[in-house]
Chains A and B, each alone.
Chain A
């Protein structure tokens, strides 16, 4: 048999390559640097992320495809959907770096590996957005998860950090085994793992029990990654034990990547099975909203509270995914909008948690927020604003995001799901606003440790949340274009 090499254009995947190259370069430089010098790693990571972001944006509207094997279906697509998600991941990285620096210094964690693992994990997330083949989705899932397992455990020999890493590792590996079994079933039913070919096979031969079983396995695997109830048990423990900047990164990046996988599988590979998955997604969403929001109320530790809050926010994004079954454009674009707004709000809130944490595990209680408003008026104001945004009170990015998601769900006639979403948002007000109440109404000894980098990052995130609250149309148009390009590729086969 004659061998025809696949068509490869490396410029199209340059954003991922830049990130991987910066990460690998950093590991090599580390060998030759004297132990005392550590500052270079921050700059290497930041420059890599900025270069990748620039190249990523330059590819907008290109709808490129590459890594095309003999069957003519690209494994990697660089449509606007992928570019939008890539930008989200790169921004997450760029904001996590300034949040990490001083925390790493005071916990003795400032090692170049931290930034390099961050880069590797981001490269996996980006691959996830660009994947047009289930096996690439699986590889991306692992490339993003394995560095995260290590980052959770980086504060060894502290037992909490080790425990967090081990729990995350065992459940993460468990979920990817389920995911890969789902891929095997879909492969058996359709003879392919390429997403557009799965679509074609289902269009030609209809659904059968094996595809639906495979779909169920894929959803369980992705459900673990996005921390949807009942696959959320690991989340609070892992989030509490991991170093706080890693928690911040995980709660945003890994969750969005999980949703990228879920959207690719549900919307692009198996939209014809929407009758089968829409009920499952709606039930997951209901459970996630109720359990996430209700259990968050009785948490005394801010990291655990934000863990349950991040579970709850997965529930809101799942509403958008359920809406996408009937109304793909509004559902997918509102999910993208929600994730982008959530990125700034949640990282901002974690920025404050990082600043409050004096040493690993000290200053993580809600009571430590008492009286902060007197000593740090501006940062407390920002924290209060992030809490309002997480609750969904206008004018914040969180409000615009919920507005679009609920709007998409109403168009898809999922009224009861919207009702649950609104009720749980009201419940969430209780625990978010309690943080504001503690900061402004009490006296306390709490002191923030802030560097200029952290203050700047929190400022940027507060402004972004405000802009998304006041002028959401611009971003919403971008998400609509992103959605359109992904569905167009599908229609073109």
Chain B
């Protein structure tokens, strides 16, 4: 039995769902951020799988763009999380709740 494209679509859909649920349910900013990375990488998996099955190179190139953007987001995101940890000594997003109304 060989793995068809459907398997990869299903796998990346599962990864995406795990990531999205993690963003909505987890409370630590770092874990939420890791879940976002998981979502981005599920899209990457989908790009590569489609590129392979459609015989088109574009999809593989696009993955590099997404990786670069993810890296830029990590740089900014971790810096923000570190600054907020310095001020509040916590990165639990339930405790970061000054703004509401």
Assembly CA distance A178 to B40 (angstroms): 8
Residues of B within 8 A of A482 (CB): none
In A146-204, the 8 Å CB interface with B consists of 146, 149-150, 153, 156-157, 159-160, 162-167, 169-170, 173-174, 176-178, 180-181, 183-185, 187-188, 191-193
> Which residues from chain A contact B23 at a C-beta distance below 8 Å?
170, 174
- A180 nearest CB neighbor, chain B only: B43
Q: Which residues of A contact B46 (CB under 8 A)?
A: 181, 184-185, 188
Chain B residues contacting A301 (CB-CB under 8 Å) are 101
Which residue among A162, A184, A299 has the maximum number of chain B CB atoms within 10 Å of its CB? A184
A331 at interface, CB cutoff 8 A: no
CB distance from B78 to the nearest CB of A (A): 10
- B62–A177 CB distance below 8 A: no
Cβ contact within 8 Å between A149 and B36: no
Please give the number of chain A residues whose Cβ is less than 8 angstroms from any Cβ of chain B in the complex: 43
A162 touches B39 (CB 8 A): no
Question: 1/0 contact trace for B15-54 toward A, CB 8 Å?
Answer: 0100110010000010011001001101110110110001
B99 & A177 in contact (Cβ 8 Å cutoff): no
A150 and B29 within 8 A (CB): no
Distance, CA A367 to CA B29, complexed state (A): 35
In the bound complex, CA of A135 to CA of B69 (Å): 11
A191 pairs with B56, CB closer than 8 A: yes
Report the minimal beta-carbon distance from B7 to chain A, rounded to whole angstroms.
14
Residue A463 interfacial (CB < 8 Å)? no
Q: Is A300 positioned at the interface, with any CB of B under 8 Å from its CB?
A: yes
B10 within 8 A of A: no
Neighbouring A residues of B65 by C-beta, 8 Å: 135, 138-139
Say whether B43 contacts A183, CB under 8 Å: yes
Is A258 in contact with chain B by the CB < 8 A criterion? no
Decide if B83 touches A153 in the complex (CB within 8 Å).
yes
Contact A237 B100 (CB under 8 A): yes
- List CB contacts (< 8 Å) of B51-91 with chain A: 54, 56, 58-59, 62, 65-66, 69, 72-73, 76-77, 80-81, 83-84, 86-88
Enumerate chain A residues within 8 angstroms of B50, measured Cβ to Cβ. Answer: 184, 187-188, 191
Smallest CB-CB separation from B49: which chain A residue? A188
Residues of B within 8 A of A160 (CB): 98-99
CB of A193 within 8 A of CB of B39, answer no
Q: With an 8 A cutoff between CB atoms, is B96 at the interface?
A: yes
Interface residues in A290-341 by Cβ distance below 8 A to B read 299-301, 304
Query: Which of B49, B58, B69, B87 makes the CB contact (< 8 A) with A139?
Result: B69
Interface size on B, as a range, is 35 or more
Cα A146 to Cα B97 in complex, Å, equals 22
Residues of A near B73 (CB, < 8 A) are 142, 146, 169, 173
- Return chain A residues, CB-CB under 8 Å to B58: 187, 191-193
With both beta carbons as reference points, the residue of chain A lying nearest to B77 in the complex is identified as A169
A163, A181, A236: the one within 8 Å of B39 (CB): A181
How distant is the Cα of A138 from the Cα of B64 in the complex, in angstroms? 13
Residues of B within 8 A of A165 (CB): 80
- Chain B residue, CB-CB nearest to A184: B46
A146 to B62, CA, bound (A): 19
A167 to B86, CA, bound (A): 17
CA distance A159 to B84 in the complex (A): 7
Contact residues of A with B, CB < 8 Å?
135, 138-139, 142, 146, 149-150, 153, 156-157, 159-160, 162-167, 169-170, 173-174, 176-178, 180-181, 183-185, 187-188, 191-193, 236-237, 240-241, 299-301, 304
Q: Which 8 A-B residue pairings sit nearest by Cβ, starting from the closest?
A: A177-B39, A184-B46, A188-B50, A237-B99, A181-B43, A184-B43, A180-B43, A162-B84
Enumerate 27 A-B pairs (CB-CB under 8 Å) in ascending A order. A142-B72, A149-B76, A149-B80, A159-B87, A159-B98, A162-B84, A163-B99, A169-B80, A170-B77, A174-B20, A174-B36, A177-B19, A177-B36, A178-B20, A181-B42, A184-B50, A187-B50, A187-B58, A188-B9, A188-B46, A188-B49, A191-B50, A191-B58, A192-B56, A193-B62, A237-B100, A299-B101
